[in-house]
Amino acid sequence: MSPLPSITVQDLHAKIIAGDDFQLIDVREPDEYAQAAISGSTLIPLASIPARIREINPAKAVIIHCKAGGRSARAAHFLLDNGYTNVTNVTGGMDAWLDAALPTAH
């Protein structure tokens, strides 16, 4: 497997603040999402990605995160294997986001 493009939570936050055009996908479970979420993210749990792939726009940059980076890496590889070309994994996931004390939606 080739290495995944990745982004830090600080760089992701900067992209959000700048209003960059991308789709942010959260592949955690609904109970995790209910505890804390990044504003503008779309919840599509990892197991639902194949069934909900049409909700992810292949023409847009896609940034994927989970709790720590493992599930989002699997989702990113799945998308790349299915023809997506602009997919980035968030290093450290929600744990890193919270550790950096960045704002959440809830």
Q: What does the alpha-carbon distance between residue 87 and residue 101 come to, in Å, rounded to a whole number? A: 25
Which one, of 18, 15, 38, lies nearest residue 27 by Cα? 38
Domain residue ranges of the chain, discontinuous segments joined by +: 6-99
Q: What is the pTM of this model?
A: 0.94
CB 6 within 8 A of CB 93: no
Per-residue confidence (pLDDT) for residue 1, from 0 to 100:
56
The active-site residue out of 49, 66, 75, 87 is: 66
Per-residue pLDDT of the chain (106 residues; tens, 9 = 90+): 568 999 999 999 999 999 999 999 999 999 999 999 999 999 999 999 999 999 999 999 999 999 999 999 999 999 999 999 999 999 999 999 999 999 886 5
CATH class for domain 6-99? Answer: alpha beta
Q: Is there a catalytic annotation at residue 66?
A: yes
Structure tokens at 63: 């940034």
